Structure 1
Amino acid sequence: MNILQVKNVVKQYANHTALNNVSINVSKGSIYGLLGPNGAGKTSLIRIITQITAADSGEILMHGEPLTPKHIQDIGYMPEERGLYRKMKVGEQLLYLARLKGVGLAEAKNRIRDWLRRLDIESWWNKNVEDLSKGMQQKVQFIATVLHQPDLIILDEPFSGLDPVNENIIRDEILALRKKGSTIIFSTHRMETVEELCDEITLINKAQKILEGKKRLIKEDYKTHTFLVETVEKLTQVSNQFRLIESKPNENGNFVSRVKILHGTNNELINEIMRYANIISFKEELPTMHDIFVELVKGK
């Protein structure tokens, strides 16, 4: 079931086309990666979904019905350009933003205290925002985004400015929100984060969608039939059905070879290698999301 459907959206600014007939489908309860190089159109699409701007043409459905101002309450958005009021204290700012989203006063206070505790910043209630580091402000912004318990959470580069410890804290909270039923659109340049968190992705380049689907299936589609084989002896040759890319020693005193199947089957490759060496392990090398991203954006 899709929580969000974007159908044939076009957005132009003067002589620049930001989005050209873009369609995406975001499954309920998923972490959805919205990927693309700078200037690809990701932010334009997010601003249309959050109703900051409007599309020139196309349709957006949320919960199966046309997107309208009432859906703003169902969306939490953390932009890459942070939007906190620097002169306000952390507690009063979060309380103000929660009340804007329709959360009752007593409930808002309880939720804020709970989130401050979960992010290990309980003492920050009376801190001025301007006195916080970029990473500390990031944690406050994250709380403001999820405080009203939205069905759809949009995070634009949520780990920017965070140290590894706090990055892990926010990552765990994102996974916990998904487990509780939230849907998360995750816009980032960090492919290692996509590998770890995202269930589905869309890749936008030069205003157009060039790839969409489940991460697992996309990686299957782009595999190169290359295998990593650990052997006791060093592999020095294979028949012309295969290509030996490299063979290197590892820390165990064995050898790891990369071998590509040019034509034939996995079993034929195993039998071929066994002619020359004793196999310890054999696994297929799947492309990383970074590899796929670079390949498609460069237009190969």
Structure 2
Amino acid sequence: MLTVAHISKNFGTLHALNDVSFDVHDGEIMGLIGQNGAGKSTTFHSILNFLKFNGAITWNGQPLTADDYNQIGYLPEERSLMPKLTITQQIVYLARLKNQPAKVIKPKINDWMQRFAVKGQPTDKISKLSKGNQQKVQLICTLIHDPQLIILDEPFSGLDPVNSDLLKQAILAAKQRGAAIIFSSHDMSNVEEVCDSLVMLRNGKVVLQGKINDVRNQFGRTRLFLTTDWTADQLADLPQVSAVKALGDQRYRLQLADETAGPAIFDAVTNGQYIQEFSQQPPTLDEIFRTKAGGSNHE
């Protein structure tokens, strides 16, 4: 388990991190979210010991050692491969920096290239690969040594939906074998789909933290989706409905002033008859992100 305890980091007068704390358990995926400049990369760099900071970061209750750092897989936001090397040379070079022998890594390369659908041969030079395939090679470099702690800084950036799914499968496979995983993303759908928990930073401070469903539910189940032959005006007249948005094909989204109004609205709209859709939900992570990043008073 990774424990980040009350870490702070200043760059001159800039308070990049202010008393940030969280845990990431083995077999858990945590999303670290926030706007640009919120402190996500500084948090990652603190964990990796790239920066000096105040506070404590431990692995299984102990300060991280050189051997522990060999068990970390890190994908930086700024992709950095050496174009003159072949795919095999690049992967082996970075693996050896993690104290992984070439004879252990080389037999795995073909399998990982197939897993990520890399178009090319292990003997191809990095410079000959497309940008997307270069990114997938860097992902292989991050994961091929089966790290116990995986840190991914915007891993989905630049990936199309098919390749994003391949990465999600690899992340979930690493979780299944017990790795602790942190990734940052500006796409809240990725966080909502893959993560068990999240931490949101704003101006270096934690403003949201917890299990995904718990975070969503704390904002109330105030979104109501239904399909009905009622008009928007009729729906707007229902108790505790503060807004109605038509979504097409007789489908609507209602904003509720009070989530407890749901059962009464259900009874009114259905009148004891079948209804194709009636779903009362909390806001999405994307909606919550926009609210919190915008400086709402929901602290």
Taking structure 2 as the reference length, the TM-score comes to 0.90
- Select between 160-169 and 38-47 the one with higher mean Cα deviation: 160-169
Structure 2 counterpart of 1:54, from 52, 57, 82:
52
Using the TM superposition, give the Cα deviation of residue 42 of structure 1 relative to its aligned residue in structure 2, in angstroms: 0.7
Distance 1:237 1:116 in 2: 53
Structure 2 counterpart of 1:281, from 277, 281, 285:
277
CA contact (8 A) 2:235 2:244 kept: no
User: What's the Cα RMSD here?
Assistant: 2.3
Specify the alignment match of 2:29 in structure 1.
31
Specify the alignment match of 1:94 in structure 2.
91
Q: How does 1:49-198 map to 2 (within 5 A)?
A: 49-55=47-53, 57-121=54-118, 123-198=120-195
Structure 1 gap ranges (5+): none
Distance 2:294 2:203 in 1: 11
Q: Deviations over 1:165-199 (max 9, x none)?
A: 22222222222222222221011111121121111
Equivalent residues, number = 295
Q: Deviations over 1:198-239 (max 9, x none)?
A: 111000010111111001111101135232232244361576
Structure 1 residues 292 and 257, CA gap change in structure 2 (3 angstroms): closer
> Are 1:245 and 2:253 an aligned pair?
no
Secondary structure at the counterpart of residue 124 of structure 1: coil
Taking structure 1 as the reference length, the TM-score comes to 0.89
Distance 1:237 1:174 in 2: 43
Distance 2:271 2:223 in 1: 19
In percent, how many aligned pairs have the same letter? 34
Using the TM superposition, give the Cα deviation of residue 46 of structure 1 relative to its aligned residue in structure 2, in angstroms: 0.2
Specify the alignment match of 2:291 in structure 1.
295
Structure 1 residues 278 and 171, CA gap change in structure 2 (3 angstroms): closer
Distance 1:78 1:261 in 2: 43
Structure 1 residues 37 and 261, CA gap change in structure 2 (3 angstroms): closer
Structure 2 gap ranges (5+): none
Distance 1:264 1:189 in 2: 32
Structure 2 counterpart of 1:218, from 211, 215, 220:
215
CA contact (8 A) 2:30 2:183 kept: yes
CA contact (8 A) 2:223 2:253 kept: no
Specify the alignment match of 2:196 in structure 1.
199
